[in-house]
Amino acid sequence: MPKKNWGGITGTGSNRKMEISCSNTTTANKGHFVVYTTDQQRFVVPLQYLDSQPFQELLKMAEDEFGLACNGPLRLPCEAQHMEYVLSLLEKSTR
């Protein structure tokens, strides 16, 4: 997947562990939702991120690539490293 420019910052990822990244629980806590990346990593994400431009773009890309899913998990067309990067940008922008 080519690099994207999210909020004026371009990059390929971060090795930093994030509290909101991968989770092994079966359901998300209140105020969160679950997405999966193409490499099968599970992310629990705050609902407030849904309105962000990066997430809106990922959702449009997912619809183009996978169609609209009525059953099953929400899959995003990126790998875990890219998702961690997007989440780190969103986390910084909401502080």
pLDDT digits (tens, 9 = 90+) for 21-79: 454 556 889 999 999 999 999 999 999 999 999 999 999 999 999 888 777 789 999 99
pTM of the full structure: 0.69
* 3-class state of residue 81 by DSSP: helix
pLDDT at 84: 97
- Residue 18's Cβ-side half-sphere holds a number of Cα atoms within 13 Å equal to 24
